[in-house]
Amino acid sequence: MPVTQFKNCRILRDHELVREDLWVENGRIINPEELFYVQKRPPAFQVDCRGSIVAPGFIDVQINGGFGYDFSFDEDKTEEAVSVVARGLLAHGVTSFLPTVITSTPETYRKVLPRLNKRPGGEDGAGVLGAHLEGPFISREKKGAHPVQHIRPLEKGFETVKEVYGCLDNVAMVTLAPELENACDAVEGLTERGIVVSTGHSAGSIMDGERAFKSGARFMTHLFNAMTKFHHRDPGIIGMLTSKRLPLHELYYGIISDGIHTHPAALRIAYKTHPNGLCLVTDAVAPMGLGSGRHHIGDMDVVIEGERALIEGTDTLCGSIVTMDGCIRHFMHSARCTTVEALEAASLHPATALGITAQKGTLEYGSDADFVMLSDDVFVRATYIAGRQVFAAPGQAFIHEPVQ
């Protein structure tokens, strides 16, 4: 494929915004010095980015659905749900995601998981990096909106995991409560198969979290939400952020930056305590993108009031309706962080947590040309996957001009 030069932009590279051109060939970022001095050929096309910030495409590792679809319910529409959500995410700068399935029955996992195939992104939507299975091995006390009747113990550790989920080929991440009996055996079995284990929906202590981490867990699911509240005598798994027993450079955590699930002060505490492990997640549910009103999700009735998604008749949050670009803007404002730090929390950090930085999460030479063009106030102008424009905001299309 011909080489394209993206000029007049500020690229997020090496933890700073630099005024450089971005060069793309065959869907990957290339080194222009190799092009000029070794291959001795010019680009075939140029794109004027009109002063945009060019950042790696965003990666959402926890999203339950959106645009009227949910990944945990109505198994016969799983492919349709993935397709609709994948397309809708492009408008928000998301180029890769983990469709998330909450606590369900073994029968549901066996129907849904084969349909959550890993697939590259493109004009049809963001890429699927694998499924995130949030449950059913969680605390009944900290179940949140998960159906309690489907929560299960880990009677035989990893053997139970295999019995409940069935085939693990399409699984990228699993959330479980570290205090459960035989949890460490489950963690070891999953990590040996390259699956990221996240601690969450937990009533456990800091020691429970540390044991799981030493067994291979590397992530925490929506920090502060559905876990033991911080206490000065036992901070719960939240305390892992400052543990002296753990190599913190290997610990990552998701956080919902929507102004509802996490107070701005809590966002600032997490950011100041362990900024390099912070991964923005939406935890979005089916009504995301639908607006206010009453919606039916699986066997639950959900009411959307402004920015809140509640189980009807309760004050229980059932997920968020925030988009990833909205998370970034709120995080910048609440945590008082830099634009670079906020953008990396939606790209570099989740890619590092998943172990895929050779392909995603950066704009280094050789990485996939998945990127997003942004205004200075972090609104999406255009989204690119493999160097091709797959979304443009109204009036924001960027033209590939042939080089004469």
Active-site choice (60, 70, 283, 325):
283
DSSP string, 69-133: EESSS-GGGHHHHHHHHHHHHGGGTEEEEEEEEES--HHHHHHHGGGS--B--BTTBPEE--EEE
55 appears as a binding residue in the annotation? no
279 appears as a binding residue in the annotation? no
**244 burial type by CB count under 10 A (0-12 exposed, 13-18 middle, 19+ buried):** exposed
92 appears as a binding residue in the annotation? no
333 appears as a binding residue in the annotation? no
Give one word for 29, left, alpha or beta, with left for phi > 0 and alpha for psi -120 to 50: beta
For residue 264, give both structure tokens. Answer: 């701005």
318 appears as a binding residue in the annotation? yes
- C-alpha–C-alpha distance, residues 336 and 162, integer Å: 43
388 appears as a binding residue in the annotation? no
- C-alpha–C-alpha distance, residues 28 and 3, integer Å: 10
* Residues 6 or more apart in contact with residue 239 via CB below 8 angstroms: 206, 209, 230
DSSP string, 301-326: EEEEETTEEEETTS--B--B---HHH
**232 burial type by CB count under 10 A (0-12 exposed, 13-18 middle, 19+ buried):** exposed
* Residues 6 or more apart in contact with residue 188 via CB below 8 angstroms: 158, 215, 216
CA–CA distances in Å: residue 176 to residues 146, 187, 200, 389: 13, 9, 6, 38
- Is residue 283 part of the annotated active site? The answer reads yes
263 appears as a binding residue in the annotation? no
145 appears as a binding residue in the annotation? yes
Nearest in space to 100 (alpha carbons), one of 139, 142, 138, 128? 128
64 appears as a binding residue in the annotation? no
Q: Which residues are annotated as a binding site for substrate?
A: 145, 225-226, 233, 261, 317-319
Catalytic machinery residues: 283
Q: Which residues are annotated as part of the binding site for Zn(2+)?
A: 134, 201, 222
> Which residues participate in the annotated binding site?
134, 145, 201, 222, 225-226, 233, 261, 317-319
